[in-house]
Amino acid sequence: MFMKKIILVLLIILLTGCSFNLKKEMKETDDTGNIEEQEEVEEEIEDVYQDDNPLKISFYQGSNSVYQKVSVFKSPLNSFKDIGIFSIILDDKDEVRGNYKELYNNVKNSYSDFKFKIGYNISFTLKDGSSYDENILKPIDLFDYTFSDYLYIWLYDDINTSGWHSHIEEKDYNENTVMSSIKLMSTALSREAVDGFNITVFTYDSDDDFDDDDHYRGNSKFTLKIVYEE
């Protein structure tokens, strides 16, 4: 009788232990499965950028309502001398004719809710190998007109002003401001330090148009190359 009790107790212990191990293994399997499912979901919602901006844009120079597209501009980069003033038109034709304000407003008014802003990216490499690559979305991105020791920049709103007007200052900047033209000036260090500058203009309507490194990733852009030449 005593032996039967011992055998019964051992059977209960063994059965309880097996049950415990089984539950533990099932729990580990469930946990692992949940983790795998969570990882798969995270991969599926990976950021995918869709560019729905149809605007064309280019740099132009001209007068008397005739403007020529400029993609390369040669300059001696003389100390504290203007490189040039370049106008922005929402077009990509080699030549555009018309009143400057009307050219912009005609495009703007073709949209029921026009939210696009104009921005710039300035990039260049010094002869020592170091490089600059910065966006200008507002006047505050410049220290007054100083972009760097190698380039001075002034931005103008030619759409909301008439006659002679000064460059845009941060205190005057608002949602209606259009940074429609840019003036570039070389510095005392430009000629010796760089071979030229890349000035890219683009349009954007949200932060989503920039990646995690603040690089513009849309197609509504155009690059002007300033090339050193005597």
Q: What is the pLDDT of residue 48?
A: 85
Place of tokens 């005609």: 106
Amino acid letter for position 213: D
Q: Are the beta carbons of 189 and 150 closer than 8 angstroms?
A: yes
Q: What average pLDDT does the structure give for the chain?
A: 86
Q: Which of 190, 189, 194, 142 is nearest to 168 (CA)?
A: 142
> Residue 216: which pLDDT band, with cuts at 50, 70 and 90?
very high
Structure tokens at 66: 């005739």
| DSSP-assigned states of every residue in 26-37 | HHHHHHHHHHHH
Amino acid letter for position 174: N
Burial of 140 (0-12, 13-18, 19+ CB in 10 A): exposed
Structure tokens at 156: 């103008």
pTM over cut 0.85: no
Would the pLDDT of 151 be above 90?
yes
Could you read off the pLDDT of 26-65 as tens digits, one per residue?
444 455 555 555 555 555 556 688 999 999 999 999 988 9
Could you read off the pLDDT of 51-61 as tens digits, one per residue?
999 999 999 99
Q: What is the DSSP letter of 114?
A: -
Q: Is 87 left (phi over 0), alpha (psi -120 to 50) or beta?
A: beta
